[in-house]
Each structure stands twice: as structure tokens, then as C-alpha cells.
Amino acid sequence: MNPHPTHLHPNSWLVTAGRSSEPGASLNVPLVPASNFIIGGKREYSRDDGTPTWEALEELVGGLESGRAVAFASGMAAIAAVFDQLHAGAAVVLPDDCYQGVAGLVAAGAERGRWSVRRVALHDTPGWVDACRSADLVWLESPSNPLLGVADLEAICAAPRKPGAVVAVDNTFATPLNQRPLDFGATVSLQSATKFIGGHSDLLAGVATTSDEAFWHALKKSRELRGATPGTLESFLAVRGARTMALRLERSQQSAMALAERLAVHPAVELVRYPGLESHPTHATARRVLKGYGTIISFDVRGGAAAADAVCRRTGLIRHATSLGAVESTMERRAAIPGQGHLPPSLLRLSVGIEDAEDLWRDLDSALAASMP
């Protein structure tokens, strides 16, 4: 038997979770590419009953989040499964800044009359507490994408809410190593395993974790009926990538803090957003609810969108690409993406990888200097 996650530090759980302890079993989680199984045992069909590879990923993430996990084909598939639980005409509360995929899903549902939507500024804790009284789904994303606002999960999750109301937290940017929403009282915590869990830009997967048994069954049924099952190879890669997540996160966070401090005084930079900086609007909340400030930095380049685009073209070590949370550093201008009209045109989102911090700074500084008139 594997040790229970409460008996291990998260760094150790990441390494041991999902492995078999049976004599003669493979040391590493096997890749089981089976759709069906011989009738009479635990499984018959993978869409309904899962595979050992999926279950290893679910055990790993569920233990980290202090709950029970359901793995999905992508982060958006996990998110859609949460919204799938809402009744017709439900009231949804959404942050003013959140992932454009979520914003698009919510807008599409509202247009069809599936739910009504209220937007609340992430830093407005009294507004969230008030919204909890009437909401059927309180959707939080903390830190937010890409303005990196940090919500007071402790206060919001403890706020009175109507019976059956769901508090969901997209925990992708924080990771379960920096924040565990279920410990604050959230109903469900979501991870895009594409990002920090996989960590190598080579898979799509999502995980939803809850300590509510009925909600877990509902999520699993939604996955089954919608066919949003994770791929076997993707699950295998996510487990393998997660083994080093603690090391990757520690290294990248150290570099992110160093880069954020330098960017804050760079003449080509107008504004830096990083929860670890005292200048960040929600820094005090971040100090209280987060164990680490993360690896994502957002900053505005002087000179507008054209200057920001030029910075992206001129970096070499930092790749001009979307997504985040991987071993390599990536950067993109977020306002160039449809549905991000609320963002400053010159905002760049930088995901700091595990490269040497000095090499990253030379690359970034050179690109910024070339953008100045």
C-alpha cells in the first residue's frame, strides 16, 4: 500500500503517488492503452470505468488537493463538467478577469438562457461575500489569468451561501503546492494538467478535485456521458511530469521573483503585475493565502501593442508561444487573443521556466532595450 498523502510532505507524495507496491509490479505507472476489459472484474469499458493510468493521475492530484479527483481530456473539459451540474436559470458569479475560455463558455450559456451572470472584481471581497448569498455557482480563479489578482479564498469560501451552491476555484496558476482551495471550504478545485502538472508542453489534460462524494460522482458521470475522457498517453505523461513539479515550481518561482523585481525598474516597462511584489494590489492577500507567488509575470511595455509585439519577436531563449507552466519560458501578448478586450494592449504574460535566471534576464533585457525609442 502507498502511504496516505496526509503522512507525507507534498514533494514526497508527488514521487510516490499512483505507484503499485505489489511484488513484481512495474516501478513506474504503466501505460494501459485499453478501451475494454474481460467481463467479471473491476472494469469493463474504459469510458465508464477508467484505466489504471487515469487512476494514477487521479490519485496523485487528489492527494495533493486533499480530495478525490476526476481526470478529463483537457482543463476546459473539467471546467465544462462543473458547469454541467447547473440547473436551468442558475445564477453564476464570475471574476472580472479570468481565462478567456471560461468567459467564452459562460457567455455562450448566457446567450442561450442557461444561466445569468454577474461579474465581480476579484479584489472586492465584500462583493464576493454578498454574491455568495444568491449564487448557484461561485467561480473563482486565483491568481487570475492574466492580471494575477489573488482572491481572499478564506473569506469567500466561508461566506454563507444557499443550499447546494457550488464554489469552484481554478487553481491552475497556484498549483496544489501553493494553494489548496478545498482546505478553505471550496466545493471543487480545478487544474489544467496541461500546465504545471505535465510541465513539458506535450499534453492536454484536466483534473477536477472535490471532497464532496456526491459531487465527485456527478463529475464522473458527466465525463462518462460527454465522453471527455483523458488519453492514456496524456495521463501517463502527466504523472511522469508531476514527479518533478515541486522542483520545477521552486526553481521557476525563484527566477520569477528576481525577474519581476528587475522588470519593475526597467525604463521600457510601464507596470509589472506579480503577487510577490509589494506594489501588487493584492500582495497582502497573496501573503496570507498562498504558499508561493507562482511563476507567471504580467507586465506592460511602454510604446503600446507594437512595442510589445516587437519584444516577443526579439527574445530567443524565451519562446513566443501561448500556454504556461512548463520547463521552458514562454511569452505572449494576451490582448492579441480574441475575448481579451479588457486587457491593456501592451500587456505581456511571461511564464518563467527552469532556465538560468541570468540567461533569461539578458534575453529579456536585450529585447526590451531594442523596443525603446
| pLDDT tens, the chain, 373 aa long | 456 666 899 999 999 999 999 999 999 999 999 999 999 999 999 999 999 999 999 999 999 999 999 999 999 999 999 999 999 999 999 999 999 999 999 999 999 999 999 999 999 999 999 999 999 999 999 999 999 999 999 999 999 999 999 999 999 999 999 999 999 999 999 999 999 999 999 999 999 999 999 999 999 999 999 999 999 999 999 999 999 999 999 999 999 999 999 999 999 999 999 999 999 999 999 999 999 999 999 999 999 999 999 999 999 999 999 999 999 999 999 999 888 888 999 999 999 999 999 999 999 999 999 988 7
Q: Among the options 47, 114, 226, 240, which is catalytic?
A: 47
Q: Where are the beta strands (DSSP E) in the chain?
A: 68-72, 90-95, 115-120, 137-141, 166-170, 188-192, 206-210, 269-273, 296-301, 319-320, 330-333, 347-351
pLDDT at residue number 62? 98
Architecture of the domain whose range is 5-242: 3-Layer(aba) Sandwich (3.40)
The catalytic position among 97, 136, 152, 170 is: 170
Catalytic residue among 195, 248, 273, 349: 195
Whole-angstrom Cα Rg for the chain: 21
Buried b (16+ CB within 10 A) or exposed e, 232-262: bebbbbbbbbbbbbbebbebbbebbbebbee
> Kindly report the CA angle at 163 between 158 and 165, in degrees rounded to 5?
65
Answering whether pTM is above 0.75, one says: yes
Q: Is 47 a catalytic residue?
A: yes
Q: Class assignment of domain 246-371?
A: alpha beta
Per-residue model confidence (pLDDT) at position 1? 47
358 burial class (0-12, 13-18, 19+ CB within 10 angstroms)? exposed
Active-site residue, selected from the candidate residues 99, 223, 274, 293: 99
Domain positions in the chain: 5-242, 246-371
Residue type, 174: A
Beta bridge partners of 115: 90
Give residue 27's identity as a one-letter amino acid code: L
What is residue 298's three-state secondary structure? strand
Question: DSSP class of residue 5?
Answer: G
pLDDT reported for residue 2: 59
Question: Backbone phi, then psi, for 146, in 5-degree steps?
Answer: -115, 10
Q: Is 195 a catalytic residue?
A: yes
CA dist list (Å): 150 to 18, 140, 296: 31, 10, 13
